[in-house]
Amino acid sequence: MAVGLDEKLEPIYQDVLHRNPGETEFHQAVREVLESLGPVLVKYPEFADYKIIQRICEPERQIIFRVPWQDDQGVVHINRAFRVEFNSALGPYKGGMRFHPSVYLGIIKFLGFEQIFKNALTSLPIGGGKGGSDFDPKGRSDREIMRFCQSLMTELYRHLGENTDVPAGDIGVGQREIGYLFGQYKRITNRYESGVLTGKGLDWGGSRARTEATGYGVVFFLEEMLKVRADSLDGKTCVVSGSGNVAIHAIEKIQELGGRVIACSDSNGVILDEGGIDLALLKEIKEIERRRIKVYAERKPDSLYTENGGIWDIPCALALPCATQNELTEKDARTLMANGCIAVAEGANMPTTPEAIERFFEAGVAFAPGKAANAGGVATSALEMQQNASRDSWSFEYTEARLREIMTSIHSTCFETADQFGQSGNYVVGANIAGFLKVGRAMVAMGLI
């Protein structure tokens, strides 16, 4: 793992800090990529001549707007929404919408910046973008969420299109929200453009396996990473942070492939079930009832719920952070390694701090960064776009097979690129360089735009 920036890149990073004050998550994401790129500029000086790095760090377009809406009691609320259209060198902007109180411009820019490289690694024709709002859907009725989504789309629709910008879901935005957003887009434009939003319901243009894709994809990448080490998931004890869509389907695929998940979490606490997480019960609580994880312990008395517990304190061989950014710290990394952890795969975006990643590399723990390991979601979104464009519908089995093929290819690309640049086994360097080369070459080819 590289420490510090190449002398040619330090001024670029300082300019990013100056131009984007207070956006700490964005700063972190940019630095993590720049730390990998020193050798690239030596081998490909044309990227410096065309100022490709500076251009990649500056979004092509940033849209900020207010979203007024009325709750069930008639009270008016005003939220702020964002869409950062970061880079379209490889295709239309593609990236999710996040509804969460923590959302501000810096979070959206960090997510959009990561999306550029993640999307490039899929080898599918999609650029990078991201959006969201500081609206909190928790505790809101379906009618309130519908009114909010309709208000948001009334402004956002003018910036979208199948060949321009294609949003999807993220934290706080599932099939329900996508339905309300798509309905309002269709209503305003008088066009049924299925490919303008992904994550749709199966009855109206959605892709089979899209719901499962991010979680399944992380596990497929982890499986490939273990194969390189002549190892497998079979019999391994795993912990998965979170209990949302990504975590649930990561647990599902780990169990299918012979692993044993003993813990998961939400923002309130941690569940430990030494007998293995009961997936059916977890789905019932989180997906159907939309309740907190502590209910799991109430219904399964032999499990243990710890309010505000630390999931990384639980001994495991494999750790999958699938909740939110910077959730796994240096202290957590040391605890995991002391307890025998051999591999970490990121299901969330940037959930591991730079210091924690450094400790994993020093100790030889296999580490899969989110921009590679969790690319399965956006890859399957692009497959959904293909189906919509051809007015086609694929089976779950075919779509999952395509997903596995894409994740295997991403692993190979990252592994081989790291090796070529003298950083064998460093998937962070491999992902950053491979994604950058693909986008950078396209930008050079298209001229100064």
Tell me the per-residue pLDDT of 102-139, one tens digit each, with 9 for 90 and over.
999 999 999 999 999 999 999 999 999 999 999 999 99
Instruction: Give Dmax (Cα) for the chain.
Output: 64
The answer to whether position 107 is within a domain reads yes
Ranges of the chain whose pLDDT falls below 70 = 1-3
From the number of C-beta atoms within 10 Å of its C-beta (0-12, 13-18, 19+), residue 18 rates as exposed
Q: Other CB atoms closer than 10 Å to residue 295's CB: what's the count?
A: 17
The answer to whether position 415 is within a domain reads no
Count of domains observed in the chain: 3
Q: Of 192, 226, 249, which one is at a domain's C-terminal end? A: 192
Q: Other CB atoms closer than 10 Å to residue 28's CB: what's the count?
A: 17
Residue 44: strand, helix, or coil = coil
Burial 125-144 (b: 16+ CB within 10 A, else e): ebbbbbbbbbbebeebeeeb
The CA distance from 192 to 171, in Å, is: 26
Q: Do residues 80 and 215 share a domain?
A: no
Structural domain boundaries enclosing 246? 211-368
Question: Is there a contact between 178 and 169 (Cβ–Cβ < 8 Å)?
Answer: yes
Residue 23: what pLDDT?
97
94 is in an annotated binding site: yes
The CA distance from 1 to 421, in Å, is: 12
Is 130 a known active-site residue? yes
Per the residue annotation, which of 8, 43, 51, 130 is the catalytic one? 130
Q: Of 353, 368, 383, which one is at a domain's C-terminal end? A: 368
Q: Do residues 109 and 236 share a domain?
A: no
Q: What's the number of CA atoms in the CB half-sphere (13 Å) around residue 335?
A: 12
User: What six digits make up the tokens of 348?
Assistant: 């969330």
The answer to whether position 394 is within a domain reads no
Question: Is there a contact between 269 and 305 (Cβ–Cβ < 8 Å)?
Answer: yes
Q: Do residues 133 and 264 share a domain?
A: no
245 is in an annotated binding site: yes
Question: Is there a contact between 410 and 372 (Cβ–Cβ < 8 Å)?
Answer: yes
Q: Do residues 361 and 443 share a domain?
A: no
CATH of the domain at 293: 3.40.50.720
Backbone angles phi, psi at 221, to 5 degrees: -65, -45
Residue 412: strand, helix, or coil = helix
Q: Do residues 51 and 69 share a domain?
A: no
The answer to whether position 373 is within a domain reads no
Q: Do residues 305 and 179 share a domain?
A: no
Residue 5: what pLDDT?
85
The answer to whether position 270 is within a domain reads yes
Q: Do residues 296 and 250 share a domain?
A: yes
Q: Of 368, 386, 404, which one is at a domain's C-terminal end? A: 368
408 is in an annotated binding site: no
The answer to whether position 334 is within a domain reads yes
Residue 135: what pLDDT?
98
- In 3D space, the residue among 83, 85, 93 whose CA is nearest the CA of residue 119 turns out to be 93
Residue 139: what pLDDT?
92
227 is in an annotated binding site: no
Q: Do residues 215 and 361 share a domain?
A: yes
303 is in an annotated binding site: no
The answer to whether position 406 is within a domain reads no
Strand partners for 68: 78
Q: Do residues 267 and 299 share a domain?
A: yes
Q: Do residues 338 and 237 share a domain?
A: yes
Q: Do residues 127 and 216 share a domain?
A: no
Residue 35: what pLDDT?
96
Q: Do residues 230 and 342 share a domain?
A: yes
CATH of the domain at 84: 3.40.50.10860
The answer to whether position 359 is within a domain reads yes
79 is in an annotated binding site: no
pLDDT tens-digit series, residues 270-286:
999 999 999 999 999 99
237 is in an annotated binding site: no
CATH of the domain at 6: 1.10.285.10
